[in-house]
Amino acid sequence: MPTADSQHSLFAKVTLALFSRLVLNTARRFAYPFAPALSRGMDVPLTAITSLIAVNQSTSVIGLFFGPVADRLGYRLIMMLGLGLLAVGMFAAGFIPLYGLVLLALFLAGLGKSIYDPALQAYISQRVSYHRRGLIIGILEFSWAGASLVGIPLIGVLIDRLGWRSPFFLLGGLALLALVLMIFLFSEPKGEPRPEHSVRGFGQAVLSLVKEKPALGALGYAFCMSVANDTLFVIYGVWLESEFELSLVALGASTSIIGLAELVGEGMTASLADKIGLKRAAVIGLILLSICYLALPLFSHNYILAMVGLFFLFLIFEFTIVTSISIATELLPSLRATMMSGFYATAGIGRVIGALIGGVVWLAGGMAAIAGVAGGMTIMALAALLWGLKAWSKSV
C-alpha cells in the first residue's frame, strides 16, 4: 500500500522533483543542438563531441545496477546521489574546461539521470495510489518537454552571451540547490518499513525482471518502442531537409514543434490516462502510433502535412510511453526501482540500436522503409505489452 503524504507535502515533493528533472534532462540533452559550439570552445573535432553524446547514452544501461541498490538502501539516498553526480560533473567541466572533464561531466549527467529517475518514480509510487499514478507521473514528465522548450533555449542564450562554459556553472548550481532542498523536503522516516526483498542480492533482484511475465513483457515493450522511435528520430531532419529544402532555422523550428507535441502528450497522460484506464490507454496509444508511423510516407510531398504528421506522432508516442511508465511502476511493487531501471536500460539499448540502423534503413529505402521498420517495431511492442499484461491486474 502507498505511504500516505499530505496534499501539501506531496505538492512540494512533486514540484521539487519536476524542477530537479528539468535540470537533469537539460544537462543530458543540451550537447545535441550545441555540439558545434562545444567543438569550437574546446578546439576539438565535431566527431569528438558526438562521441560525448554516445557516452552519455550508454549510462541508461549502467543505471540498471543502481535499481536494486535503491530498493535496498532507500530511494531518497539514490536520488541525492544522482543530483550530486550531476553537480560534481558540471562544476568540474566549468572550472577546468578540458575535453576529458567535459566527457566526464556529460557521462555523470547521464548517469545522474539514469539513477535518479527510477528512484524518484519508485519513491512517488510508494506515496501515490495507482488510480492517480498517471496524473502524477504525467506531471513529472513535463520536465522532458520542458528541457526542449525552456532549458535548451536558455542554454543557447547563455552560450551566446557568456560563452560555452556558462551552462556548466548554471546546471551545477541548480543541481546543488535541488540537492539541498531535497534534504529538507524529501523524507524517508526511519520507521518506514523496507521492502521484504531488501535482503536479496543484486543478482536475485535483476533476475526478477525476467522471471515475472509482466515485467519481462514491459522490458520487451520498452525495447521495441525505443527502436521504432529512434529509427525515425535520427533521420527526420534529413527527411525534412531533402524533401522540402529546409534551412537550419526551419529545422530548429521543427524541433520546437516536437517539444510542444511532447508537452501535449504528457498533459494528456496526466489528464486522461487514469480515466481511460492505464492499460487501455497504452494499447490505444500503440495502435494509433503504429498507424502514424506507417502513414508518414504519404506526407512526403507536403510540408504542412509532414509537420502535422510528426506532431501527432510524437504526441501519441509521448502519451503512450508516459502511460506505460505509470503501469511499470506497479508491476513489481517490492522492487520498484529495479523494475524502472530495467525498463530504462532496455529502452536505452533500443535507442542505441534504432540510432545505428536508422541511417542504414533510410539509405536502403527512404521514408517508406523507415515507416515500415518503425511501424513494425511498434506492433511488436504492442504484442509484448499484451503478452506481459494478459493476466495482470492491479489489486486496489
Q: What is the pLDDT of residue 287?
A: 97
Question: Confidence band (pLDDT; 50, 70, 90) for 59?
Answer: confident
* DSSP category for residue 332: S
**Residue 34 pLDDT exceeds 50:** yes
- Better-predicted residue by pLDDT, 188 or 337: 337
Question: Confidence band (pLDDT; 50, 70, 90) for 189?
Answer: low
Give the type of residue at 27.
A
Catalogue all structural domains in the chain, each as residue range(s) with its CATH number.
7-185 (1.20.1250.20), 202-389 (1.20.1250.20)
Q: What is the pLDDT of residue 193?
A: 44
Give the type of residue at 7.
Q
Which of these, 259, 245, 242, lies nearest to 362 by C-alpha position? 242
pLDDT tens for each residue of 275-290: 999 999 999 999 999 9
Quote the cell numbers at residue 315: 504526441
Question: In 3-state terms, what secondary structure has residue 131?
Answer: helix
- Please write down the HEC assignment for all residues of the chain: CCCCCCHHHHHHHHHHHHHHHHHHHHHHHCCCCCHHHHHHHHCCCHHHHHHHHHHHHHHHHHHHHHHHHHHHHCHHHHHHHHHHHHHHHHHHHHHCCCHHHHHHHHHHHHHHHHHHHHHHHHHHHHHCCHHHHHHHHHHHCHHHHHHHHHHHHHHHHHHHHHCCCHHHHHHHHHHHHHHHHHHHHCCCCCCCCCCHHHHCCHHHHHHHHHHCHHHHHHHHHHHHHHHHHHHHHCCHHHHHHHHHCCCHHHHHHHHHHHHHHHHHHHHHHHHHHHHHCHHHHHHHHHHHHHHHHHHHHHHCCCHHHHHHHHHHHHHHHHHHHHHHHHHHCCCCHHHHHHHHHHHHHHHHHHHHHHHHHHHHHHHHHHHHHHHHHHHHHHHHHHHHHHHHHCCCCCCC
What is d(CA 17, CA 359) in angstroms, rounded to the nearest whole number?
Answer: 36
Q: What is the pLDDT of residue 242?
A: 81
The mean predicted confidence, pLDDT, of the chain is 85
**Residue 57 pLDDT exceeds 70:** no
pTM of the predicted protein model: 0.83
Quote the percentage of the chain above a pLDDT of 70.
Answer: 88
**Residue 20 pLDDT exceeds 50:** yes
Give the type of residue at 264.
V
What is d(CA 58, CA 114) in angstroms, rounded to the nearest whole number?
Answer: 10
What are residue 153's phi and psi, to 5 degrees? -60, -40
Under a CB-based contact definition with an 8 Å cutoff, are residues 105 and 328 in contact? no
Question: Helix axis angle, 236-244 relative to 336-389, nearest 10°?
Answer: 60
Quote the percentage of the chain above a pLDDT of 90.
Answer: 43
- Better-predicted residue by pLDDT, 134 or 196: 134
Under a CB-based contact definition with an 8 Å cutoff, are residues 333 and 392 in contact? no
Q: What is the pLDDT of residue 132?
A: 86
pLDDT tens for each residue of 263-320: 999 999 999 999 999 999 999 999 999 999 999 999 988 989 999 999 999 999 999 9
Quote the cell numbers at residue 277: 484506464
Q: Where are the alpha helices (DSSP H) in 128-165?
A: 133-140, 142-146, 152-162
Mean pLDDT calculated for residue range 173-177: 96
Q: What is the pLDDT of residue 358?
A: 85
pLDDT tens for each residue of 125-149: 888 888 888 889 889 988 888 887 8
Mean pLDDT calculated for residue range 232-256: 75
Q: What is the pLDDT of residue 396?
A: 41
Which of these, 174, 142, 140, 180, lies nearest to 155 by C-alpha position? 174
